[in-house]
Amino acid sequence: MDTDTFILTIDSLSYGGNGVGRREDGKVVFVPMVIPGEKIRARVVKEHSKYVNASLVEILDKSPSRQKPRCPIFDSCGGCDWQHMPYQDQLQWKLEILRAEITKTSGAFPELVYPIVPSNQTFGYRGYARIQCSFDPIFKMGFFQKKSRKIAAFESCPILHPLIQDTLSALAAILKTYPVYSLYSLEIHAPGEDVLVSARSRGPVKPGDIKIMNSIYNDIGIAGLSFVVLKPQRRDYVLGQRYCRYTVHVQDKSIELSGGLSGFVQANMQVNHDLIEYVMDLAAGSKKILDLYSGSGNFSIPLALIGDEVSAIERSQLLVSFGKKNAKKNQLGNVRFLCLDTKRAFQSIINESVRFDTIVLNPPRQGVKDILEMIPQSSASRIIYISCNPTTLARDLAYLVDHGFSMKSIRMFDMFPQTYHIESVSLLQR
């Protein structure tokens, strides 16, 4: 028998999507595509001093809840983690992982845990995607394989919104006939009825490549196409719109929002709507609101409906420009967008004793480490923390609780079904 294989019982799931078990020698083992309760044969992929990364060789005792993945390339594609698990089980394990991450850091989990907000669509929900491309020798597209830079090619993907899937199919038909060999990725936004495509090329561009891009824009019915060429020097060829529109209905009002290529737009618009409404409910009664890491105003613009004044801080000039357009479009004069580095902006707020009732935090995956020690120095009595990473969230919450704030609630929003990703909203009160 292979000496690198061993038998293991899966006890739980970890943030990252892997199953967790303990080998006979006491080492913790991480294995993908398994379900707690299953007995498996695993093979060592990499042995570390305190844990082991392993792969699944054989399921010896299968979980009764295991189901057939909808995607035929699920085993290799890095786009999804849990298609082999029923959706309700996915939700429960995400809550357990969130609980474990916070408990591990702070030693306690808030008593007031609200019900999970699920996604109405567990497939076909994703309105944003970055697709990898290659020509070897003909065009193929897909996500990267698990733990690899190789492409897991597909003709169709069950998690993509139909607008994106139709666009990709039309693109593939053209590129198989008229290849652009320097093309390496396609970024597609479809949060509403508009579809934007950004085609990225390593270059150099051949004379016929621009004609092919013109044909794509004219023939497949998209709102805008950006052809980004990186070598020998960067050049952007833009056809049609640079932005895409979407509508959010909150408090009997319709908010018109827009985002552009190379800007952040939420991938699951139904859950995004639920998220916005919930943040507005938590912020109710606030007079002055500070929205940090604001992007183009996904939260700032709706919050302007309930607050006297909203200040939105964002370091991207592109996103700030979209935010200002969104404010003007919705005739909201009480929200201002400032293009500033978050840390410098927050330090100025403290130094100048600028007062805010509520701070909304929506940071990237690394959390708010850059401003964490300054938050207790602010005047805010309420913190609304929107997180996409429970590990950095747990670190930040533990610090804030140790420095004058108390946890009031935490609620999970399932933005990405079939994956391990966890979106949550925490409320802290001074």
> Any idea what DSSP says for residue 62?
-
Q: Catalytic: which of 256, 277, 309, 388?
A: 388
Q: Are 168 and 186 in contact (CB under 8 A)?
A: yes
**CB of 339 closer than 8 Å to CB of 311:** no
Contact 297, 257 (CB under 8 A): yes
Tokens of 413: 């929003």
**244 noted as active-site residue:** no
C-alpha–C-alpha distance, residues 27 and 37, integer Å: 18
Residue 184: strand, helix, or coil: strand
Residue that the structure tokens 């038909």 belong to: 173
Measure the CA–CA gap between 374 and 413, rounded to whole angstroms. Answer: 28
- For the beta carbon of residue 308, count every other beta carbon within 10 angstroms: 11
Answer yes or no: are the C-beta atoms of 127 and 268 closer than 8 Å.
Answer: yes
CA–CA dist 85, 68 (Å, integer): 8
In angstroms, the CA 63 to CA 337 distance is 51
Q: How does 44-79 read in b/e, with b if 16+ C-beta sit within 10 Å?
A: beeeeeeebbbebbebeeebeebeebebebbebbbb
Contact 359/384 with Cβ under 8 angstroms?
A: yes
The one catalytic residue among 38, 101, 314, 423: 423
Within 123-223, residue ranges assigned H as helices are 162-177, 207-219
End-to-end CA distance of the chain, in Å?
60
H/E segment holding residue 269? helix 269-283
* Known catalytic residue at 58: no
Q: In what order do the strands lie in the sheet with 335-339?
A: 335-339, 309-314, 288-292, 358-361, 382-387, 423-429, 406-413
Q: Where are the alpha helices (DSSP H) in 332-389?
A: 342-351
Q: Is 28 helix (H, G, I), strand (E, B) or coil?
A: strand
- Cα torsion 191, 195, 196, 198: sign: positive
Residues noted as catalytic = 388, 423
